[in-house]
């Protein structure tokens, strides 16, 4: 198969369903050899099944592509190492890592248990860090061996990580952490030929089906554009994972329907400098003036 990812080897976590599945199929359609990682767990992370990953591999092969399944728990060092080894053993190289795996344990903060906090942090944040760590170690070794990679990492954040989301304190914190990890990784890995970016997608998946339940194509209009289809996000991810995105690193993109937005993150706004220590009253007066001159923050999801 030919395309902008021809002969590239792409690892995608959480690729058995939803966005990950859409990414896997899109990469394969552009010529990539794909490692489909998925534990096949439920929406809350419980249970496990090899079925989803193998089904996606079957779909790719039926279309003439190349893919292998991986059932490693990428939130463990052993699982993350195995994931990277699977790509190298099956295809002899690694070019792109898409960190996508995740699940939900939604609660209002006063009802959020510590184990629900830890579980979401483990899968989303640690589950990004560990595959990135072992992929980066491979690419560093390649670069030091005189084989400079042209590698890509795409991390998956969320609007909840950018703005917050009521009832999702654990998820929002983890997704915000992924943004910080992306910025650090982009700075640290540039010397090894690795570009690292993040997306904040909005699409209809198991994790968002209640939110987007009413956004299907209108009845009687089967050809209408389905703005919430996961497949709409994948073209940007495929481009970011290709050699064509050279020089693009440390950036965050929102992707929803037919819209792509470059997020500009935290930037200094209005400032005041006394060149001496403020009193509390003075600091308060200065803060009020600065707030009046600043942009109004976007609302937290769930407060509108």
Active site residue: 158, 165, 242, 245, which one? 158
The two tokens of residue 28 are: 């394969």
Distance CA 75, CA 136 (A): 16
Instruction: Count the Cβ atoms, other than its own, within 10 Å of residue 80.
Output: 24
User: Which of 18, 21, 24 is CA-nearest to residue 5?
Assistant: 24
Alpha-carbon distances, residue 165 vs 85, 151, 168, 176, 263 (angstroms): 36, 33, 5, 11, 18
For 51-93, strand residue ranges (E) read: 66-70
Verify whether residue 171 is a known catalytic residue.
Answer: yes
φ, ψ (nearest 5 deg) of residue 255: -140, 125
Active site residue: 72, 134, 165, 175, which one? 175
Query: What is the distance of C-alpha 73 from the center of its chain?
Result: 17
The two tokens of residue 192 are: 């090894």
Active site residue: 134, 171, 192, 301, which one? 171
Question: Contact, 52 vs 16, CB < 8 A?
Answer: yes
Verify whether residue 126 is a known catalytic residue.
Answer: no
What lies within 8 Å, CB to CB, of 222 at 6+ separation is none
Question: Contact, 31 vs 6, CB < 8 A?
Answer: yes
Three-state DSSP class for residue 90: helix
What lies within 8 Å, CB to CB, of 253 at 6+ separation is 197, 198, 199, 200, 236, 240, 260, 261, 262, 263
User: Which of 244, 265, 241 is CA-nearest to residue 254?
Assistant: 265
Verify whether residue 158 is a known catalytic residue.
Answer: yes
What are the residue numbers of the active site? 158, 171, 175
């Amino acid at each position: 198969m030919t395309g902008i990812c021809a002969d590239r080897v792409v690892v995608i976590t959480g690729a058995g369903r939803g966005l990950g599945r859409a990414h896997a199929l899109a990469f394969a359609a552009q010529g990539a050899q794909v490692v489909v990682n998925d534990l096949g767990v439920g929406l809350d992370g419980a249970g496990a099944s090899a079925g989803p990953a193998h089904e996606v591999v079957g779909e790719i092969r039926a279309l003439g592509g190349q893919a292998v399944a991986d059932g490693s728990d990428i939130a463990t060092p052993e699982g993350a190492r195995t994931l990277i080894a699977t790509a190298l053993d099956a295809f002899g190289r690694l070019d792109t890592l898409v960190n996508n795996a995740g699940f939900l344990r939604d609660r209002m903060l006063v009802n959020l248990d510590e184990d629900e906090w830890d579980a979401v942090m483990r899968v989303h944040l640690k589950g990004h860090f560990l595959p990135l760590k072992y992929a980066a170690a491979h690419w560093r070794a390649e670069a030091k061996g005189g084989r400079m990679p042209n590698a890509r990492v795409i991390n998956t954040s969320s609007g909840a990580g950018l703005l917050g989301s009521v009832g999702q304190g654990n998820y929002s914190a983890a997704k915000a952490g992924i943004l910080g990890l992306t910025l650090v990784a982009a700075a640290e890995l540039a010397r090894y030929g690795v570009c690292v970016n993040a997306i904040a997608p909005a699409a209809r998946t198991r994790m968002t089906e209640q939110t987007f339940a009413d956004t299907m194509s209108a009845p009687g209009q089967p050809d209408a554009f389905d703005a919430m289809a996961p497949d709409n996000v994948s073209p940007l991810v495929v481009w970011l994972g290709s050699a064509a995105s050279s020089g693009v690193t440390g950036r965050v993109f929102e992707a929803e329907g037919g819209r792509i937005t470059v997020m500009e993150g935290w930037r200094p706004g209005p400032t005041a400098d006394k060149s001496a220590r403020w009193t509390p009253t003075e600091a308060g007066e200065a803060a009020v003036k600065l707030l009046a001159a600043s942009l109004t923050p976007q609302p937290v999801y769930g407060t509108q």
